[in-house]
Chains A and B, each alone.
Chain A
Amino acid sequence: MTRTNEISLLIGGQAGAGISAAGLLLGKTFLRGGLHVFGTIDYPSLIRGGHNFYLLRAATRPVFAQWDKIDLMIALDERTLERHREELVSDGGVIFDSDEISPDSPNLPPSGVQRYAVPLESIVKELNAPKVVQNTIALGAALGILGYGITQLEEILQETFKAKGDKIVSMNVDAARKGYNYAHEHFASEFCCQLKPRTGKHHQHMLLTGNEAVGLGAIAAGCKFIAAYPMTPASPLFHFLIAQAERFGIVTLQAESEIAAINMTIGAAYAGLRAMTSTSGGGFCLMTEGLSMAGMTETPVVIMLGQRTGPSTGLPTYTAQGDLHFALHAGHGEFPRVVIAPGDIRECFQLTIDAFNLAEEFQTPVILLTDKHLIESHITTQTFDTGLVSIDRGKLLPMERYTGPTPYLRFKLVDDGISPRLVPGTLGATVHADSAEHGEQGFVNDTADNTRQMADKRFRKRSEIQKALSRYDAVKTFGSKDADVTLVGWGSTKGVVLEAVEILQEEGRSLNFLQIIFMAPFPAQLVSKALKGKTTILVESNRTAQLGSLIREQTGHRVAHKILRYDGRPFNPLQLVARIKEVLK
Chain B
Amino acid sequence: MTSLTREDLKTEQPISWCPGCGNFGILRALQTALVDLKIPREKYLVVTGIGCHGKLFNYININGFHGIHGRVLPFATGAKLANHDLIVLGFAGDGDQYDEGLGHFPHAARRNIDVKLFTHDNKVYGLTTGQTSPTSPQGYKSKTSPGGAIPTPINPLMLALASNASFVARGFVGDVTHMKELMKAAIQHKGFALVDILQVCITFNRAQTYQFYRDRVYKLEEENHDATDLQQALKRSRETGDRIPIGIFYQEERPVYRARLPQIKTQPLIKQPIKPTKLKQLLREFT
Contacts and interface: CB of A to CB of B under 8 A. Distances in A.
A359 interface: no
Given A246-B262, A267-B79, A435-B66, A272 B71 contact: no
Interface stretch (A257-265, A310-318, A336-344, A449-457): A257-265
Contact of B74 (A259, A428, A430): A259
A465 to B, nearest CB: 22
Contacts of A219: 276, 279, 282
Interface stretch (B39-47, B176-184, B199-207, B208-216): B39-47
A326 interface: no
Contacts of A251: 81-82, 261, 263-264, 269
Greatest chain A CB density within 10 A among B74, B262, B278 is at B74
Contacts of A212: 286
A391 B63 contact: no
Contact of B68 (A206, A289, A425): A289
B83 A424 contact: yes
A430 B42 contact: yes
Contact of A247 (B55, B79, B278): B278
Contacts of A250: 263
A434 B63 CA distance: 11
A267 B74 contact: yes
Interface string B47-59: 1001000010110
Interface residues on A, range: 35 or more
B92 to A, nearest CB: 13
A272 B270 contact: yes
A222 B276 contact: yes
Contacts of B45: 271, 424-425
A444 B274 CA distance: 33
B47 to A, nearest CB: 8
A297 B65 contact: yes
A451 B65 CA distance: 19
Given A264-B74, A272-B83, A273-B82, A216 B42 contact: no
Contacts of B275: 222, 391
A270 B79 contact: yes
A501 interface: no
A252 to B, nearest CB: 9
B78 A256 contact: no
B281 to A, nearest CB: 9
B205 to A, nearest CB: 24
B283 interface: yes
A431 interface: yes
Given A225-B269, A259-B74, A391-B275, A444 B283 contact: no
B287 A444 contact: no
Interface string A282-315: 0000000110010001000000000000000000
A352 to B, nearest CB: 13
A435 B67 contact: yes
A63 B276 CA distance: 31
Nearest to A215: B282
Nearest to B49: A435
Greatest chain A CB density within 10 A among B41, B62, B68, B271 is at B68
Given A222-B275, A425-B86, A443 B11 contact: yes
Interface string A7-50: 00000000000000000000000010000000000000000000
A224 B50 CA distance: 29
A23 to B, nearest CB: 15
Contacts of A430: 41-42, 61-64
A207 interface: yes
B104 A260 contact: yes
Interface in A498-530: none
Interface string A432-446: 111110000011100
A290 B68 contact: yes
A212 B287 CA distance: 13
Contact of B77 (A264, A425, A432, A433): A264
A273 B83 CA distance: 9
A224 B269 contact: yes
B83 A425 contact: yes
Interface string A200-218: 0001011110001000100
A429 interface: yes
A275 interface: yes
Contacts of A265: 78
A269 B74 CA distance: 13
A428 B282 CA distance: 40
A256 B280 CA distance: 34
A244 B278 CA distance: 11
Nearest to A407: B61
Interface string A180-211: 00000000000000000000000101111000
Contact of B57 (A273, A428, A434): A434
Interface pairs A-B: 4 shortest CB-CB: A267-B78, A222-B274, A424-B63, A264-B78
Interface of A: 31, 203, 205-208, 212, 216, 219-220, 222, 224-225, 227, 244-251, 253, 255-257, 259-261, 263-275, 289-290, 293, 297, 383-384, 386, 389, 391, 393, 399, 423-436, 442-444
Given A260-B77, A264-B77, A270-B65, 19 more contacts: A208-B286, A219-B279, A225-B82, A253-B77, A256-B74, A256-B103, A261-B74, A263-B75, A265-B78, A267-B75, A268-B82, A271-B79, A383-B286, A399-B270, A399-B271, A423-B270, A430-B42, A431-B64, A443-B13
17 contacts: A216-B283, A245-B263, A247-B282, A251-B263, A256-B107, A260-B73, A264-B75, A266-B67, A267-B75, A273-B270, A275-B78, A293-B67, A297-B65, A433-B64, A433-B65, A435-B50, A443-B13
